[in-house]
Amino acid sequence: MKYTRLPNTNIRVSKICLGTMTWGRQNSEEEGHAQMDFALDKGVNFFDTAELYPVPAKKELYAVTEEIIGRWFVKTGNREKVVLATKIAGNGDYTKFIRTTGFAKDALITAVEGSLKRLQTDYIDLYQLHWPERDTNYFGKRGYDADQHDFWEDNIHQVLETLRDLVQQGKIREVGISNETPWGAMRYLEESKVHQDLPRMQTIQNPYNLLNRLFEVGLSEVAMRERIGLLAYSPMGFGTLSGKYLGEVPPRKGRVTLFPQYNRYSNENAVAATRKYAALAEEHGLSLAQMALAFVNTRPFLTSNIIGATSLEQLDENIASINITLPNTILEGIEEIHNTIPNPSP
């Protein structure tokens, strides 16, 4: 395994992070526990979860994934071996069964206390804001609509004040953002620069993969110049970058088969690009999954690559991507395909 640090901290994390969003829906508790055992044995010390998991979000399954992790900590005694990240759910129609107060002080406190209880731990290493409160980007939408009007009032100072209090109480160590824009990232960073008693956002968890490299437009410069590290999620594009959906008969238990609303990586251009990437990988004796993950691992703005799997076989292959070095011929081939079909999945 290779390791890095959460930016501006002494917290050492594996460059492969174990994602957990299938546990409690696509995966049983037993399977989730087996994945954590396996990943830790392979040197993965960084686990990412959220109160919203498992996904798709469902009231009856609210926060089950955190509970599964908590019971594993109790069973194994491995809490101190893991750098643990979780998130508060943002606003959205699919989260209204959780709360409707966004990131107000009481909502943040309630969310942290709930996660601590379910995870059966005294502290969270990295606490993240899952989505912006304001109306801006979302799945399937590329840019900000200048004509839209929302009723969000800038409360970023207040959010950071609440997070500061939680840090001072020892309940969280570091903070981060997720699904953010360049404006949002800089707004948080500038607030903590001006008010140095406020915590600094150290990471940003956004999608990044061969079919969606929109992080490179604006946010990569923010990440490099401001030292805020990318935690790349969906590096396999909901599994489409394994190539398993390219056949005539989709896999019966695949995420996109089970949940067809997860179609952002399945449009015509995305499928065409995936076929090209699959051919490039085959030409060089790699699986598409290995090439897709190894590409993400090469990015200079990456702190950790969040992988997920529904089987130990998939998990083993995904973790092993850390040991793959892509030659220039593959990297040049990737850029050629990207320039032909850039970012087909918003």
CA distance 231 to 97: 27
pTM for this entry? 0.95
Give strand pairing partners of 305.
16, 232
- 298-345 tens-digit pLDDT: 999 999 999 999 999 999 999 999 999 999 999 999 999 999 999 999
The crossing angle, in degrees rounded to 10, of helices 268-283 and 328-340 is 160
Q: Which CATH class is domain 3-242+299-325?
A: alpha beta
146 has a pLDDT exceeding 90: no
Tokens 């290493």 correspond to: 125
Q: Is 277 a catalytic residue?
A: no
44 has a pLDDT exceeding 70: yes
pLDDT bin (cut points 50, 70, 90) of residue 137 is confident
CA distance 4 to 137: 29
For 295, which DSSP code?
Answer: H
Q: Measured between alpha carbons, how far is residue 273 from residues 187, 191, 268 in Å?
A: 35, 40, 9
- 263-300 tens-digit pLDDT: 788 899 999 999 999 999 999 999 999 999 999 999 99
Find the catalytic residue in 3, 53, 188, 277: 53
Please give the mean pLDDT across all residues of the chain. Answer: 93
Domain boundaries, the chain: 3-242+299-325
pLDDT bin (cut points 50, 70, 90) of residue 7 is very high
Beta strand ranges found along 1-150 (DSSP E): 3-5, 12-14, 16-19, 46-48, 83-88, 124-129
